[in-house]
A and B are shown apart, each in its own frame.
Chain A
Amino acid sequence: MGIPEERIERLHEQSREAAAAGDVDRSQEYVRLARRIAERNRLRLPREFRRFTCDACDAYLVPGVNAQVRLQSGHVVIRCDCGEIARYPYD
């Protein structure tokens, strides 16, 4: 595994910790940086990262805190506090 992948992994962890500690700005900053690294190095972000970050505002999503999760037939709907809705299938 190369350095960019590892940086993304570390930032993911840091972002999750910052979000858990209530430090929203910092967790957003880490998500942005991880996305930028993935973009520069043409990497796909890990699935967990994609599922738990907001595409619109880069927030790290914590269900029950800044995200609403609803299970529907065939798909999950997760809605960020900013209003962005993401849907993904069960798999």
Chain B
Amino acid sequence: MPLTPETLTRHELVGLHARVADATNPDLIGVSGRVVSETERTLSLDDGSRVRQVPKRGATLEFRLDAPTDEAAGAGKAPGTPSELPSETPGVRAGQSGGCEGEAYVTVDGARLLSRPALRTEKAGDSTWR
């Protein structure tokens, strides 16, 4: 299963580019960088000059997926460029935002990612009870 907006919450975040779209701590809003480390409750973003540790709880993160996501579900939304836009599959808990050239941006509520990194594949993201 490739890294798609649907599987992002259970996939590896290290190495992805992320931006804090919203957070309960106003100082963290706008922080962006490569994810370099993950703990149960935080993500570390490296913006090139320093590493910022962002709590997952209370933050809304926007991840950039570099490889164009090839989704059957995306075809209905944008017929011209289905592979460049994140799909709007119903039931996906992660909110979707606009796509750019060959990139897809996925917005995720940080609370979706609250899990130990190794267990996230098994536990986070799939529950319909949240």
Task: Using CB atoms and an 8 Å cutoff, list the residues of chain A in contact with chain B.
Answer: 1-4, 6-7, 10-11, 13-14, 26, 29-30, 33, 36-37, 40-41
Does B121 make an interface contact (CB < 8 A)?
A: yes
Chief secondary structure at chain A's binding surface: helix
B-side residues, CB < 8 A to A, are 1-3, 7, 10-12, 14-15, 36-37, 117-119, 121-122
Provided the pairs A29-B37, A33-B117, A37-B121 are in contact, do residues A6 and B2 lie with their beta carbons within 8 angstroms? yes
A7 to B2: give the CA distance in the assembly, Å. Answer: 10
A41 to chain B, nearest CB (A): 7
**Contact between B36 and A26 (Cβ–Cβ < 8 Å)?**
yes
Interface of B is mostly: loop
A41 touches B36 (CB 8 A): no
Asked if residues B15 and A4 are in contact (CB atoms below 8 Å), the reply is: no
A-B contact pairs, 18 of them (CB 8 A): A2-B1, A3-B1, A3-B7, A6-B12, A7-B11, A11-B12, A11-B14, A13-B15, A14-B14, A14-B15, A26-B36, A26-B37, A29-B37, A30-B14, A33-B14, A40-B119, A40-B121, A41-B122
Across-interface contacts of A14 in B (CB, < 8 A): 14-15
Chain A residues contacting B14 (CB-CB under 8 Å) are 10-11, 14, 30, 33
A2 to B2, CA, bound (A): 8
Name the residue among B11, B14, B15 with the largest chain A CB count within 10 angstroms.
B14
Q: How long is the Cα–Cα vector from A33 to B12 in the complex, in angstroms?
A: 10
B36→A7 contact, CB < 8 A = no
**Contact indicator A3/B118 (Cβ below 8 Å):** no
B118 pairs with A36, CB closer than 8 A:
yes
Cβ contact within 8 Å between A1 and B119: no
Name the one of B11, B117, B119 contacting A3, with C-beta atoms under 8 angstroms: B11
Residue among B7, B12, B117, B121 facing the most chain A CB atoms (10 A cut-off) = B12
Chain B residue with the shortest CB-CB distance to A23: B36
What's the nearest-Cβ distance from chain B to residue A42, in Å? Answer: 12
